[in-house]
């Protein structure tokens, strides 16, 4: 006739385990007026919006699956600047995201902002 209490409890337990095993999150880490991995003096006008990302992937939480063991914000900034041929990211926003499953996990850092050029060798102290 209806589901037995044991069967219902088992179904709830399986659904809970599946829900927990396939989880992820994303959070905004911070905002910066200027972000760069280079020494910059004066900045030129802001340009197009750019983004860069660095991710690490692993299997079973411990076995690296290509790429770095841990993601790096500097690498994300460098990738964005290289793509846009810029020196500085103005109005930068940093993001961190994670996808966690039983078999495969991914951890990423992403930066977004407006590209700008800088004058080098004229740092003010």
Write out the H or E segment, with its range, that includes residue 73: helix 73-84
- Where along the chain do its domains lie? 24-116
Contact 51, 110 (CB under 8 A): yes
The 3 state secondary structure assigned to 57-70 is EEECCCEECCCCCC
What is residue 51's predicted lDDT score, i.e. its pLDDT?
94
What is residue 125's predicted lDDT score, i.e. its pLDDT?
41
What is residue 19's predicted lDDT score, i.e. its pLDDT?
65
- pLDDT mean by block of 10 residues, the chain; 125 residues: 72 72 63 65 75 92 82 90 86 88 89 80 47
**Rounded to an integer, what distance in angstroms lies between the CA atom of residue 113 and that of residue 51?**
7
**Rounded to an integer, what distance in angstroms lies between the CA atom of residue 89 and that of residue 86?**
8
């Amino acid at each position: 006739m209806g589901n037995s209490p044991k069967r219902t409890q088992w179904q709830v337990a399986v659904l809970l385990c599946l829900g927990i095993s396939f989880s992820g999150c994303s959070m905004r880490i911070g905002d910066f007026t200027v972000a760069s991995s280079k020494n910059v003096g004066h900045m030129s006008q802001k340009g197009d919006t750019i983004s860069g990302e660095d991710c690490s992937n692993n299997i079973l939480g411990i076995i690296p699956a290509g790429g770095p063991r841990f993601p790096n914000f500097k690498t994300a900034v460098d990738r964005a600047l290289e793509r846009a041929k810029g020196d500085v990211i103005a109005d930068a926003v940093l993001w961190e995201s994670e996808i966690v499953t039983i078999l495969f996990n991914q951890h990423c850092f992403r930066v977004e902002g407006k590209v700008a050029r800088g004058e080098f060798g004229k740092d003010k102290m």
